[in-house]
């Protein structure tokens, strides 16, 4: 996996932790929790896309 993928994985873990903490303190339907969830989705989609590209190359 490349540097970009490593960076994205780190961001995913950071956002996941922040989202969970925010969800526990402010609630799962709080706008801030939802914002982090949407950001996390974008990073996860990026990882999925990278994984698909790698599989196509093989």
23 contact partners, CB below 8 Å, separation of at least 6: 30, 33
1 vs 45, more confident: 45
Mean pLDDT of 17-41: 98
Domain extents for the chain? Answer: 3-52
Q: Higher model confidence: residue 57 or residue 38?
A: 38
What confidence score (pLDDT) does residue 19 get?
98
Residue 38 pLDDT > 80, yes or no? Answer: yes
List C-alpha distances in Å: 55 to 1, 11, 30, 49, 50: 12, 22, 37, 10, 9
> Chain-wide mean pLDDT for the chain?
91
pTM, full prediction: 0.83
Say whether pLDDT at 2 is over 80.
Answer: no
């Amino acid at each position: 996996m490349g540097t970009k993928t490593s960076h994205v994985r780190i961001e995913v873990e950071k956002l996941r932790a922040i989202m969970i903490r925010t969800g526990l303190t402010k609630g799962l339907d709080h706008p801030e929790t939802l914002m982090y969830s949407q950001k996390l989705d974008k990073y996860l989609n990026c990882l999925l896309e990278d994984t698909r590209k790698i599989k196509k190359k093989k």
